[in-house]
Homo-oligomer: A and B are copies of this chain.
Amino acid sequence: MATIYDVAKLAGVSPATVSRVLNGIAVSEAKAAAVRSAAEELEFVPNRTARGLRTQTSEVIGLIIPDVENPYFTQVARGVEDAAQKAGYSVVLCNSDADPEKERVYLRIAVLQNMAGVIIAAASEDTDIGVVTAAGRPVVAIDRHNAFPVDTVVIDNRDAGYSATIGLIEQGFRRIACVSGPLHIDTARERAQGWRDAMQERLGATPGDLLVESNFQVGGGRAAMLQLLDRPERPDAVLLGNNLLGVGAIQVLSEKGLTPPAIGVAVLGSLPFTTIAPSAVSVMHLPGRKMGGVAADLLIDRLRGNQEPPRAVVLPGRLTPADLAG
């Protein structure tokens, strides 16, 4: 492996001049040409590690998500990757399992590996991203807000919940239950609020008993659905707070032979690998991919030196057909 010293010697210049050529810093055309031809002859490729050690940076973006196996987050990852690649960055995907301790470890790694910046869908609003920001590296928080003043990309969750509920009401349903994620998570709370607003506005009712707080997992969806079906006055429709809750709930309904439209079902989030007839369930696609793309763009903008105060992007909860195509 040739180094800049080899190139410098062959080209008859100093190593610094070679470095300048590599980095596009002004150098006389004659020397630049000599350097280029020497580099070519030696098949020189700059050593990223050395550069990283010196500059304390790299062209690697860390993406921390709670679950690579959740299709929503793989969509996000996809969006990040595409945008990053366009700008010459690569992406390291880290799986936090929604575990604050694992998150902490990955945030440290991001700094130690000299990653250029971090995009994180944090397990909690209180996730301490200070290690990264203190190192002067930009962070973009996605999916939920963070206590630190960093760029943020979230979805208009209230609107998503609201629109989906309105959809069910317009299909004629009245006793619409809402299976929500943990209400201490703002994402979950906002979506539930959208449901509540729609119910209040259209039906004049604030049906507290129809709200079931669950987790954001398949198992939670199953349990909540079973519980709802067991009630004396069972709901005629149900809104599921995320994709996994949707999967669990629909599984239960299938098992009971209770498929839509015998009961109304709306899901917040895509079901990319669902096996139910696509038309039977109202799916409110959330712009995961878009969120990833926007987050990457914001991060790269920071990496290029933008120093504005933190920006907050709120993506529409309802996708247009054009968004889906993209």
Contacts and interface: CB of A to CB of B under 8 A. Distances in A.
Interface string A244-275: 10110011001100000000000000011111
A244 B71 CA distance: 14
A113 interface: yes
Contacts of A46: 112
A49 B255 CA distance: 54
Contacts of A42: none
A275 B269 CA distance: 14
Interface-central residue, A49, A50, A108, A251, by most chain B CB under 10 Å:
A49
Interface residues of A, number: 51
Nearest to A251: B275
A94 interface: yes
A6 to B, nearest CB: 14
Contact of A113 (B49, B53, B112, B251): B49
Interface in A183-238: 218
B277 A254 contact: yes
Nearest to A248: B275
Nearest to A221: B275
Interface stretch (A14-22, A74-82, A157-165, A173-181): A74-82
A8 interface: no
20 contacts: A45-B108, A45-B112, A48-B112, A48-B114, A49-B53, A49-B114, A60-B92, A69-B74, A74-B74, A90-B94, A90-B113, A91-B93, A93-B93, A218-B273, A251-B276, A254-B276, A254-B280, A271-B273, A274-B275, A275-B276
Contacts of A254: 275-277, 280
A171 interface: no
B78 A68 contact: yes
A51 to B, nearest CB: 9
A1 B113 contact: no
Given A90-B109, A94-B90, A108-B45, A273 B243 contact: yes
